[in-house]
């Protein structure tokens, strides 16, 4: 769809503005016939996601790993706890075609706009999140070196890159300055939060601690007890005391591991939340050996997935372990041969369990999981982009109990093409309350504001104007002209009723949300007023204070009666 926007210099003709900045509000006690025909109020453009409709990203790949295009809604089957569900929403999400790769920070800016987006503005956001809490030094160093090569050779003009770590001690926000990115990468090193840096005796992993404390696994208890006896030079008469010490140590390790998992999940959630506000393709690359998530973490993982899906953030993951086989480490203290074999078995089981969170985050967002491969250069190349095409299925669960319980999902193709594989979200937790109409409207507007798709349910014309009170300050006026002939009114008490929400947002050249304004307009029009306005339409003005610079303007309009939406892109350059 072609965008319609113009940048007007100060003093150029302005469309009529029908509403003052702070109009009088309705009086609660007035009779309907005495109500003002139009009223308006401004609100800060702040949003919070609410989830009731369950969205399920699905990627279908062929034998070569390419995403399969051309599938339709009727090709899919969706099951909730093995019960078939009606797919009520269906969309095909395609990655925008990009031009030839250009090295970032060349100092050159494109001169043309595409799809209404200002030329030279960011259109793809890739956040690299390195798990320095759980990764070993050697693995993290290999990932750092590969990332430096990748970002120098593979990223293009228009990309914005951020570097974060799960410890929170390395943070480089989205930028196209490669020197800043490389400086952040150079700081990468293991930073465990709760676990001791030096080897302990007994050496009990988070996985083994869970097996000992939560599952009362006799083999895990025996292995830990034997290690306590070896480390403490205890004889067989002290085995009971050694077992008590092993269980106490396991409780400590369980608490430490739980803390590190919760911190890691919270950092992933925070990065997803930030990326949801970026106007373009959004990819989170999680570089990690994986980390254990227990039953008590499931709600946090599901909430994270819901936020990523709503924010159109694709999570790709790279397992740092590659082809490494977990087992005996020559740097670790040797215990008895039998106990060491048990510890090696638990190390292998732990590596598999640690991967679960990476599998779930990638499958649940339509992402890619790179594992069992030591070629980190290839992994980063694949992980830097969203899939070429994926399908977004939505359904409203029938007879859903608002109890917060887990629902396993299964997606299948009715007639799958030959040699294809399908990856989809594994499940969700039932909400504890239903989403109201107001929450639903707010969520739809938020999703539209942080998208770049142009919507034309209602014809809207976007114009901008600016003036500079000083050299360091500016005021941008965003004018939205609406055609009344396409707005659906409801007749009640002799009035034509509708509520209009107009949201304006400004984004800087790195795609960061700078400022925004929400206007609520209530229409209670008499017939003769409506007839007059059908020919004229209305113009709504929003004024935003910014600093000089280049901004992308995003305008979203939604009406309450017809639930129609319009969205337009524009730009303004303030010297």
Structure tokens at 337: 């041969």
Other beta carbons within 10 angstroms of residue 359's beta carbon come to: 16
Alpha-carbon torsion 427, 429, 435, 439, what sign? Answer: negative
Distance CA 271, CA 274 (A): 5
For residues 534-549, average pLDDT: 89
State phi, psi for 387 to the nearest 5 degrees: -60, 150
**Would you say residue 47 has pLDDT above 50?**
no
pLDDT at 169: 92
Q: Residue 559 belongs to what H/E stretch?
A: strand 549-559
**Would you say residue 112 has pLDDT above 50?**
no
Are 510 and 159 a contacting pair, CB within 8 Å?
A: no
Average the pLDDT over each of 43-57, 87-101, 504-518 and give the range with the smallest value: 43-57
For residues 231-254, average pLDDT: 90
pLDDT at 337: 58
**314 DSSP β-pair partners:** 283
Question: pLDDT band at 537, cuts 50/70/90?
Answer: confident
**Would you say residue 17 has pLDDT above 70?**
no
More confident: 194 or 305: 305
* CA nearest neighbour of 484 among 438, 541, 529: 529
pLDDT at 236: 85
pLDDT at 73: 95
Distance CA 414, CA 408 (A): 19
**Would you say residue 556 has pLDDT above 90?**
yes
State phi, psi for 395 to the nearest 5 degrees: -150, 155
pLDDT at 98: 46
Structure tokens at 501: 């929400």
**Would you say residue 88 has pLDDT above 70?**
yes
pLDDT at 135: 94
pLDDT at 534: 80
Are 131 and 264 a contacting pair, CB within 8 Å?
A: yes
**Would you say residue 14 has pLDDT above 70?**
no
* CA nearest neighbour of 565 among 456, 486, 440, 488: 456
**Would you say residue 564 has pLDDT above 90?**
no
Is the CATH code 2.60.40.150 the one for domain 5-49+437-574? yes
Structure tokens at 97: 């075609």
Question: pLDDT band at 429, cuts 50/70/90?
Answer: confident
Unique residue bearing structure tokens 């003009």: 157
For residues 486-515, average pLDDT: 87
* Tens digit of each residue's pLDDT (9 = 90 or more) over 126-141: 999 999 999 999 999 9
**Would you say residue 450 has pLDDT above 80?**
no
Long-range residue pairs from 144-152, CB within 8 A, at least 24 positions apart, any chain: 144/185, 144/186, 144/188, 146/376, 146/377, 146/379, 146/380, 147/185, 147/287, 147/380, 148/182, 148/185, 149/377, 150/377, 150/380, 150/381, 150/384, 151/104, 151/178, 151/181, 151/182, 151/185, 152/103, 152/178
**Would you say residue 108 has pLDDT above 50?**
no
Average pLDDT, the chain: 82
* CA nearest neighbour of 307 among 430, 205, 434, 443: 443
More confident: 199 or 304: 304
Distances (CA, A) of 214 to 105, 251, 265: 52, 9, 21
* Tens digit of each residue's pLDDT (9 = 90 or more) over 175-197: 989 999 999 999 999 999 877 76
For residues 553-563, average pLDDT: 88
Alpha-carbon torsion 517, 124, 122, 100, what sign? Answer: negative
Q: Residue 167 belongs to what H/E stretch?
A: none
Length of the chain (residues): 575
For residues 236-264, average pLDDT: 93
pLDDT at 167: 94
Domain positions in the chain: 5-49+437-574, 54-95+388-429, 124-195+252-383
Other beta carbons within 10 angstroms of residue 43's beta carbon come to: 12
Distance of CA 417 to the CA centre of its chain: 30
Distance CA 442, CA 448 (A): 10
* Tens digit of each residue's pLDDT (9 = 90 or more) over 392-402: 999 988 778 87
Q: How many CA atoms lie within 13 A of 456 on its CB side?
A: 8
**Would you say residue 199 has pLDDT above 70?**
no
Q: What is the DSSP letter of 362?
A: H
Unique residue bearing structure tokens 């790949």: 61
pLDDT at 339: 67
For residues 540-560, average pLDDT: 91
| CATH architecture for residues 124-195+252-383 | 3-Layer(aba) Sandwich (3.40)
SS3 of 116, please?
Answer: coil
Average the pLDDT over each of 20-29, 166-175, 327-336, 461-470 and give the range with the smallest value: 20-29
pLDDT at 121: 65
More confident: 477 or 324: 477
pTM passes above 0.85: no
pLDDT at 310: 82
**Would you say residue 103 has pLDDT above 50?**
no
């Amino acid at each position: 769809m072609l965008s319609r926007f113009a940048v007007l210099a100060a003093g150029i003709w302005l469309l009529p503005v029908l509403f003052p900045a702070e109009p009088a509000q309705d009086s609660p006690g007035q009779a309907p016939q005495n109500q003002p025909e139009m009223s308006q109020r401004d609100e800060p453009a702040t949003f919070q996601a609410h989830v009731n409709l369950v969205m399920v990203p699905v990627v279908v790949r062929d034998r070569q790993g390419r995403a399969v295009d051309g599938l339709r809604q009727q090709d899919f089957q969706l099951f909730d706890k093995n019960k078939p569900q009606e797919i009520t929403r269906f969309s095909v999400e395609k990655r925008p075609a990009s031009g030839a790769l250009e090295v970032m920070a060349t100092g050159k800016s494109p001169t043309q706009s595409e799809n209404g987006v200002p030329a030279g503005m960011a259109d793809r956001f890739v956040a690299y999140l390195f798990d320095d809490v759980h990764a070993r030094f050697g693995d993290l160093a290999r990932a750092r070196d590969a990332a430096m090569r990748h970002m120098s050779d593979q990223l293009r003009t228009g990309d914005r890159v951020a570097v974060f770590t799960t410890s929170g001690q390395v943070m480089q926000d989205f930028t196209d300055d490669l020197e800043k990115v490389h400086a952040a990468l150079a700081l990468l090193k293991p930073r465990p939060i709760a676990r001791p840096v030096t080897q302990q005796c007994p050496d009990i992993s988070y996985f083994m601690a869970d097996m000992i404390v939560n599952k009362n696994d006799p083999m895990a208890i025996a292995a830990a007890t034997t290690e306590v006896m070896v480390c403490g030079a205890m004889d067989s008469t002290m085995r009971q005391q050694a077992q008590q010490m092993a269980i106490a140590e396991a409780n400590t390790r369980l608490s430490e591991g739980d803390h590190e998992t919760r911190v890691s999940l919270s950092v992933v959630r925070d990065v997803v939340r930030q990326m949801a506000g970026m106007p373009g393709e959004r990819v989170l690359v999680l570089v990690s050996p994986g980390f254990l998530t227990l039953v008590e973490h499931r709600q946090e993982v599901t909430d994270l997935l819901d936020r990523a899906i709503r924010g159109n953030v694709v999570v790709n993951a790279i397992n740092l372990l590659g082809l490494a086989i977990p087992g005996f480490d020559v740097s670790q203290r040797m215990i008895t041969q039998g106990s060491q074999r048990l510890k090696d078995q638990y190390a292998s089981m732990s590596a598999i369990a640690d991967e679960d969170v990476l599998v779930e985050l990638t499958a649940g967002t339509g992402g890619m999981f790179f594992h069992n491969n030591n070629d980190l250069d290839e992994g980063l190349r694949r992980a830097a982009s969203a899939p070429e095409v994926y399908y977004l299925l939505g359904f409203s669960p029938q007879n859903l109990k608002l109890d917060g319980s887990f629902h396993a999902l299964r997606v299948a193709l009715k007639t799958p093409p030959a040699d294809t594989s399908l990856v989809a979200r594994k499940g969700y937790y039932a909400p504890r309350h239903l989403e109201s109409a107001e929450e639903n409207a707010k969520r739809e507007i938020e999703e539209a504001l942080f998208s770049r798709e142009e919507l034309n349910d209602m014809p809207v014309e976007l114009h901008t104007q600016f003036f500079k009170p000083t050299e360091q300050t500016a005021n941008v006026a965003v004018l939205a002209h609406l055609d009344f002939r396409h707005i659906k009114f409801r007749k009640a008490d002799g009035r034509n009723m509708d509520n209009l929400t107009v949201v304006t947002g400004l984004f800087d050249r790195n795609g960061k949300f700078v400022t925004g304004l929400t206007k609520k307009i209530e229409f209670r029009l008499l017939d003769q007023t409506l007839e007059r306005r059908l020919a004229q339409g209305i113009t709504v003005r929003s004024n935003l204070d910014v600093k000089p610079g280049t901004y992308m303007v995003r305008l979203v309009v939604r009406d309450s009666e017809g639930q129609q939406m319009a969205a337009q892109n524009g730009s303004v350059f303030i010297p």
